[in-house]
């Protein structure tokens, strides 16, 4: 059931990011919304299924983005690894930790984008990039990712509660 929940949430984020956000003029300032889901998975799960989910999310985003392939997958995996390393030393539900890791996540993705442009087109192309856009995306990510992760956490808790209640009702119906 957890897999179904994350599939639905991933689908909602991807559709919202690729279909609805481009309709608004402030879309250019938007960061990658699926970073919220990757951070949620990284903070709450540390086993191989989380890595597989992150790889799948990255593959879907790489397929839809039109950017360099493996950019999303690689950035999501780096975010996962960094969160796994840092959360061993820091209280992972700390607001400051989530705020900092949100900013670092967007910076990682922007840094990998700059690196891929540098590799493909050279140094001159890097200096032609819109760094103010990147700064705005980091700011938006720093402000919006922590509440997004919190909302995902509340929705996940509600989902688990609903699944437990359904299982309990089903068992009661079998026993009756």
| Burial (CB count within 10 angstroms: exposed 0-12, middle 13-18, buried 19+), residue 36 | buried
Summarised one tens digit per residue, pLDDT across range 72-125 is: 999 999 999 999 988 888 776 678 889 999 999 999 999 998 998 898 888 888
**Per-chain mean pLDDT for the chain:** 88
Tell me what percent of the residues of the chain surpass a pLDDT of 70.
95
* Band of pLDDT at residue 172, cut at 50, 70 and 90: confident
Q: Which helix (H) or strand (E) holds 138?
A: helix 131-175
What CATH number has the domain spanning 2-175?
A: 1.10.1760
Q: What are phi and psi of 24, to 5 degrees?
A: -105, 145
Name the residue with higher pLDDT: 26 or 130. 130
What is the pTM for the complete model shown?
Answer: 0.88
**28 pLDDT exceeds 80?**
no
């Amino acid at each position: 059931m957890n897999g179904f929940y994350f599939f639905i949430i991933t689908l909602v984020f991807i559709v919202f990011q690729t279909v609805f956000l481009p309709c608004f003029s402030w879309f250019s300032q938007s960061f990658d919304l699926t970073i919220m889901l990757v951070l949620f998975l990284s903070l709450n799960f540390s086993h191989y299924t989380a890595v597989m989910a992150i790889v799948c999310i990255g593959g879907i985003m790489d397929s839809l983005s039109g950017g360099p392939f493996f950019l999303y997958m690689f950035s999501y995996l780096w975010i996962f690894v960094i969160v796994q390393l840092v959360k061993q030393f820091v209280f992972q539900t700390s607001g400051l930790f989530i705020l900092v890791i949100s900013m670092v996540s967007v910076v990682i993705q922007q840094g990998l984008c700059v690196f891929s442009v540098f590799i493909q087109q050279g140094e001159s192309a890097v200096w032609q990039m819109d760094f103010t856009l990147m700064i705005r995306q980091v700011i938006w990510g720093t402000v919006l990712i922590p509440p997004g992760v919190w909302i995902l956490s509340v929705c996940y808790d509600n989902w688990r509660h609903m699944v437990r209640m359904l299982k309990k009702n089903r068992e009661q119906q079998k026993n009756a």
